[in-house]
């Protein structure tokens, strides 16, 4: 008897089944939720994936080089939070070797297609947040994103409202995590994506003990209105609803930075005291560990010349095993963390240089700290430029 060996691809698992194509084409939401789609399109939730985010893409390459892992393997780890609908379960050795030798096989083609599919590249889209059926209680911060989610089936969309009988395009239902939305947000905004036990993303942990919701600040203030009022269904009239902005306000698409800190200067017995206050209940800066705030202080003489410059960094500094500055994903040590703790007030004492008539202090925000920019070759200045937060001036005696 002739035995025929049939190779079975166990690579993609059915648990990651395709999403209804009417959901992956986000333009389909426009007819009834134009506002939500327009807002979301300006946010960085729409650019969490490698084809749309140069910083993320560079960090995949960087992390893969330093950890000697295949780039796609690193991508898969990050995808738990950055591309939760990436439909690849795991990447095996055949793929890794084929890629290392530049070979194109059926398998590499299939995986690469999935990595770059619309479904993946849409990032944290409507069919991420509104297709989560259930969020598991987590054992530790080592579980995050897709470790915690199960997805809704068919065309069920979940959100803050009960089943309304009004939607004709998709079914709808209520899920509790839209009331306590911090659990939802923190399934990705708190999680340890770093090696060992170095702190990773901890925005949720930072807020422990503060009874306030992420959406209160990041999804704007509520407004009242009807959703899809053009749909008239007998016995199911449109209800007036609270509608949140889908801006997920951040440094790039809003002026939220100006509400983060205050800065003032005073003179005390020949010393200058610079007071920086964090006005919010999570760290400033928070989130991605490469962020920084730099306060530049310039002392001027009476003829408007700068006679001295100093600066203070508010950021976390990570080192790799050689003791050099590194991004957190590959770091083995947290050297120091000068970010402002929730609601912290920090007084920085500076010596007054002789001949100084006044000083200017300016706080700028960086998506990637200037000290780290040299580790990557970023072209898009969105990631490298300074975002001015505020400044203050003090006349000296
Ligand atoms: C990061 C998660 C997230 C993403 C992505 C997201 N939403 Fe939402 N959405 C929410 C949350 C949270 C609420 C409930 C806000 C509240 O009332 O507290 C909500 C509420 C809604 C509502 C109810 C009305 C309102 O605006 O409050 C609609 C409709 C909606 N979303 C549509 C969309 C559409 C369409 C997209 C894609 C363009 C989308 N959402 C993407 C989290 C998300
Ligand atoms: C033909 C109109 C229509 C289209 C197209 C449409 N929706 Fe809806 N959607 C509705 C109606 C109607 C409701 C119920 C509103 C209510 O009860 O006030 C709704 C409710 C929602 C809610 C809130 C659900 C809840 O239970 O809280 C979300 C989230 C949502 N839609 C997302 C989407 C997304 C994502 C798309 C695109 C894939 C989409 N919708 C396409 C009509 C539509
Ligand atoms: C499935 C994972 C996931 C969930 C759930 C999630 N986020 Fe995010 N969020 C991300 C990722 C990844 C980014 C980084 C985006 C990028 O590439 O810049 C991000 C970025 C952000 C930013 C920064 C925006 C900017 O301009 O840089 C804010 C603010 C934010 N999220 C708020 C929220 C809030 C509020 C919720 C809950 C309603 C939420 N997120 C839910 C993964 C998630
Ligand atoms: C009291 C208002 C407030 C609350 C509540 C709040 N934030 Fe923020 N958030 C801010 C401000 C202001 C900034 C800008 C300063 C900074 O980057 O730390 C910010 C920044 C961020 C950033 C970085 C934005 C960027 O451009 O990269 C993320 C991510 C974020 N918040 C997530 C969250 C999450 C998740 C929660 C809930 C666990 C939350 N925030 C609760 C006000 C708030
Ligand atoms: C626990 C969930 C989680 C994991 C795992 C994760 N991230 Fe993130 N990532 C986030 C969140 C949430 C943000 C948004 C924080 C902010 O805006 O400051 C973010 C932001 C970023 C940013 C900033 C993007 C921008 O547009 O400014 C980069 C770059 C990034 N992550 C790279 C990675 C890489 C590389 C990996 C894998 C090695 C990874 N992340 C793993 C949750 C995660």
Q: Above 50 in pLDDT, residue 1?
A: no
Architecture of domain 256-395: Sandwich (2.60)
* Residue 48 pLDDT > 50: yes
Separation of alpha carbons 375 and 371, rounded Å: 8
Residue 377: HSE in the Cβ half-sphere, 13 Å Cα cutoff: 1
Using one digit for the tens of pLDDT, what is the confidence trace for 272-313?
A: 999 999 999 999 999 999 999 999 999 999 999 999 999 999
Is 391:361 a contact under the CB 8 Å cutoff? yes
Residue 235 — left, alpha, or beta (φ > 0 → left; ψ -120 to 50 → alpha)? left
Ligand 5 atom with minimal separation from the 250 CA: 17
Phi (first) and psi of residue 15, to 5 degrees: -60, -20
* pLDDT above 90: percentage of residues in the chain: 81
Pocket of ligand 2 (CB under 6 A): 23, 28-29, 31-33, 126, 130, 157-161, 164, 166-170, 172-174, 227-228, 231, 238-239, 241
Residue with CA nearest ligand 2 atom 32? 157
Distance (angstroms) between ligand 2 centre and the Cα of 235 equals 18
Q: Is the pLDDT of residue 256 over 60?
A: yes
Q: What is the pLDDT of residue 2?
A: 46
pLDDT in tens, 321-353: 999 999 999 999 999 999 999 999 999 999 999
Q: What Å distances lie between residue 302 and 149, 307, 394, CA to CA?
A: 62, 10, 13
pLDDT tens per residue, range 175-215: 999 988 899 999 999 999 887 789 899 999 999 999 999 99
Residue 12 has pLDDT above 80, yes or no: no
State residue 223's pLDDT score: 87
Per-domain residue ranges for the chain?
Answer: 14-243, 256-395
pLDDT at res. 364: 98
pLDDT of residue 17: 52
**What pLDDT was estimated at residue 9?**
37
Q: For ligand 4, what atom is nearest to the CA of residue 365?
A: 17
Q: Please, are residues 98 and 104 in contact by the beta-carbon 8 Å criterion? A: yes
* Dihedral angle sign, alpha carbons of residues 201, 47, 32, 145: negative
Ligand 3 atom index nearest CA of 254? 26
Whether the per-residue pLDDT at 7 is higher than 60: the answer is no
Q: Are 15 and 150 in contact (CB under 8 A)?
A: no
Does any ligand 3 atom lie closer than 6 A to the CB of residue 181?
yes
Ligand 3 contact, 151 CB (< 6 A): no
- The values of phi and psi at residue 387, to 5°, are -105, 105
Q: Which of 38-42, 218-222, 363-367 has the lowest mean pLDDT?
A: 218-222
- Tell me which of 4-13, 188-197, 247-256, 356-365 is least confident: 4-13
Residues whose beta carbon lies within 6 Å of some atom of ligand 5: 44, 53, 55-56, 59-60, 63, 74, 77-78, 80-82, 144-145, 188-189, 191, 193, 201, 287-288, 291, 329, 367
For residues 376-381, give the mean pLDDT: 96
- Residue 47 Cβ < 6 Å to ligand 3: yes
What band does 368 get if pLDDT is binned at 50, 70 and 90? very high
Write down the mean pLDDT value for the chain: 92
DSSP 200: -
- Band (pLDDT 50/70/90 cuts) for residue 76 is very high
Exposed (0-12), middle (13-18) or buried (19+): which is 4, by Cβ within 10 Å?
exposed
- pLDDT at position 259, please? 97
Average pLDDT over residues 132-157: 95
Q: Are strands 171-174 and 156-159 parallel, antiparallel or unpaired?
A: parallel
Distance 246 CA to ligand 1 centre (A): 6
What mean pLDDT do residues 213-218 have? 95
Model pLDDT, residue 128: 97
Q: Give CA–CA dist 16/3, Å, rounded.
A: 32
Which atom from ligand 1 is nearest to the alpha carbon of 242? 27
pLDDT of amino acid 167: 80
């Amino acid at each position: 008897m002739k035995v025929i060996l049939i190779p079975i691809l166990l690579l993609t698992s059915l648990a990651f089944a395709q999403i209804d194509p009417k959901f992956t084409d986000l333009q389909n939401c426009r007819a009834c939720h134009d506002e939500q789609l327009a807002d979301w399109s300006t946010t960085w939730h729409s650019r969490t994936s490698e084809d749309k985010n140069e910083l993320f893409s560079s960090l995949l390459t960087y992390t893969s080089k330093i950890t000697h892992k295949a780039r796609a393997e690193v991508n898969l780890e990050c995808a738990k939070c950055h591309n939760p609908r990436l439909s690849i379960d795991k990447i095996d050795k055949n793929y890794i070797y084929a890629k290392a030798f530049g070979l194109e096989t059926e398998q590499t083609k299939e995986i690469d297609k999935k990595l770059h599919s619309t479904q993946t590249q849409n990032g944290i889209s409507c069919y991420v947040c509104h297709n989560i059926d259930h969020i598991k209680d987590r054992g530790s911060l080592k579980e995050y994103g897709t470790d915690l989610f199960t997805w809704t089936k068919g065309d069920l969309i979940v959100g803050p409202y009960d089943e309304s009988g009004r939607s004709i395009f998709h079914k709808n239902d209520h899920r509790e995590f839209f009331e306590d939305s911090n659990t939802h947000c923190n399934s990705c905004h708190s999680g340890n994506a770093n090696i060992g036990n170095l702190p990773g993303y901890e925005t949720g942990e930072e807020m422990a003990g503060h009874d306030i919701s992420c959406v209160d600040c990041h999804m704007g203030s509520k407004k009242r209105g009807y959703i899809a009022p053009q749909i008239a269904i007998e016995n199911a009239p449109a209800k007036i609803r609270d509608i949140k902005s889908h801006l997920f306000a951040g440094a790039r698409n809003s002026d939220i930075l100006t509400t983060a800190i205050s800065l003032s200067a005073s003179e005390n017995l020949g010393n200058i005291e610079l007071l920086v206050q964090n006005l919010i209940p999570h760290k400033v800066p928070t989130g991605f560990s490469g962020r920084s705030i730099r306060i530049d202080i310039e002392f001027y003489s009476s003829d408007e010349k700068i006679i001295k410059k100093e600066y203070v960094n508010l950021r976390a500094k990570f080192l790799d095993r050689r003791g050099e500055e590194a991004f957190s994903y590959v770091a083995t040590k947290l050297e120091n963390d000068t970010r402002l703790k929730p609601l912290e007030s920090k007084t920085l004492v500076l010596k007054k240089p002789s001949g100084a008539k006044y000083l200017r202090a300016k706080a700028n925000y960086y998506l990637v700290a200037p000290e780290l920019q040299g580790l990557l070759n970023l072209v898009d200045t969105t990631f490298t430029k300074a975002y001015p937060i505020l400044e203050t001036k003090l006349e000296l005696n």
